[in-house]
């Protein structure tokens, strides 16, 4: 029983010490992700316009390179979010003093 109370107290203290994300943090994250998608797409458009202007042809290089740039930007944003998620998980695991296997160690003797 004491172990369970100690774990609950640690969780409460950890939750209180965790930094609270404000709306500005969320807006900043959305902006960062938006730019990571927009920049490769705009670069693809710029290169495609230049190719279409210099060597006109049947196919639109602007459209093709915009789609490729958009795909690269989406992959970039996805990889960045995955990396940030791993950092958050790793950071929270480092502050956990009790290994998960010992959480229910004495629960069988409670009674």
Give CA–CA dist 70/79, Å, rounded.
14
pLDDT of amino acid 9: 76
CA atoms within 13 A on the CB side of 104: 2
Domain spans in the chain, listed from the N-terminal domain onward: 33-98
Give CA–CA dist 61/45, Å, rounded.
8
User: Is it the case that residue 99 has pLDDT exceeding 80?
Assistant: no
pLDDT single digits (tens) 4-59: 777 777 777 766 665 666 788 778 888 888 899 999 999 999 999 999 999 998 99
pLDDT of amino acid 24: 80
Lowest mean pLDDT among 60-64, 66-70, 92-96: 92-96
Contact status, residue 41 vs residue 69, Cβ threshold 8 Å: yes
């Amino acid at each position: 029983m004491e172990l369970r109370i100690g774990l609950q107290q640690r969780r409460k203290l950890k939750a209180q010490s965790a930094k609270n994300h404000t709306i500005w943090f969320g807006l900043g994250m959305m902006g960062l992700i938006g730019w990571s998608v927009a920049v490769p797409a705009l670069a693809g458009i710029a290169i495609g316009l230049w190719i279409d202007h210099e060597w006109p042809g049947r196919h639109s290089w602007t459209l093709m390179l915009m789609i490729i740039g958009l795909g690269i930007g989406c992959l970039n944003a996805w990889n960045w979010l995955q990396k940030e998620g791993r950092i958050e998980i790793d950071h929270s695991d480092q502050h956990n003093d009790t290994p998960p296997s010992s959480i229910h160690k004495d629960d069988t003797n409670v009674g």
